[in-house]
Amino acid sequence: MADRPLMPIATAVWLIDNTSLTFDQIAEYCGLHPLQVRGVADGDVGAGVRGIDPITTHQLTRDEIEKGQQDPEHRLKISQPKTAIAERPRKGPRYTPVSKRQNRPDAIAWVVRNHPEIADPQIAKLLGTTKTTIQSVRDRSHWNSSNLQPQDPVGLGLCTQTDLDIVVRKAAAKRAKLEAANPDAGPSLKPVEETTAPEHTPTTEETADKVDLDKVFADMGASDDSDAGV
């Protein structure tokens, strides 16, 4: 069952234009960040996107909207269809509407950062993009690399949560299988915490703990006796 509208930004556009719900309420219902909703209201996000009425699409009831308008703390609940229809398996890459294609690099950056186990062919099929675009985001050679902001592809409406979960599970299972087949291979990369941690400089106390002071003074005494004999 979907736990958010099928087209979150378009739904947010309609709710902003037709209700007095707060940005936080709309953001939580649509699976967006409150700043994204504010951007939609200001016209900075989803410019040109036509609003979709969640009531006519049976994803939200009018009573639920009225409850939210009367109580800013009320969290909207998405309407669940009475019957579930299984989606027909999709062949080939996903088709992405022109209005959303500009968001794909941000979605790619999010997937690469949060799910490094997902292979490029899987990302390409999930987001309807190309391996060349994915590689340019990875190595930061993308023409708009300096402005990319990793964003959840589900929140951007580029894929469903179900599709994303399936890809993540498949990628995790494949990685586990490879690790089981090569137990001696070890991790290919060190954790980020290790590679970015500053080099530790020993303190005076730590240095003193590692030096046997008794041995040092004994050696110094032996040297003094030898000099005295000369």
Does residue 60 form part of some domain?
yes
Give domain status of residue 139, yes or no.
Answer: yes
**Is residue 106 domain-shared with residue 176, that is, in the same domain?**
yes
**For 156-178, what is the mean pLDDT?**
87
> 49: domain range?
8-70
pTM of the complete model: 0.42
63 contacts: CB under 8 Å, gap ≥ 6:
none
Q: 147 with 105: CB under 8 angstroms?
A: no
Residue 216 within a domain: no
Same domain, 57 and 122: no
Residue 54 and residue 18 in one domain: yes
What is the Cα–Cα distance from 107 to 52, expressed in whole angstroms?
Answer: 22
**Span 106-143, pLDDT tens digits:** 999 999 999 999 999 999 999 888 999 999 999 999 99
Same domain, 111 and 45: no
Query: pLDDT over 70 for what percent of the chain?
Result: 68
Is residue 218 domain-resident?
no
pLDDT of res. 158: 86
DSSP run (H or E) holding 17? helix 8-18
* Domains of the chain: total: 2
**49, part of any domain:** yes
Contacts of 61 (CB under 8 A, 6+ apart): 55, 79
For residue 165, give every residue at least 6 positions away whose Cβ sits within 8 Å of its Cβ, in sequence order, or none. none
Same domain? 60 vs 105 = no
| Domain assignment of residue 106, yes or no | yes
Last-in-domain residue among 140, 162, 181: 181
Domain membership flag for residue 2: no
Band of residue 16 on the pLDDT scale cut at 50, 70, 90: very high
Helix-then-strand count for the chain, H and E: 12, 0
SS3 state of residue 208: helix
Residue 196 belongs to a domain: no
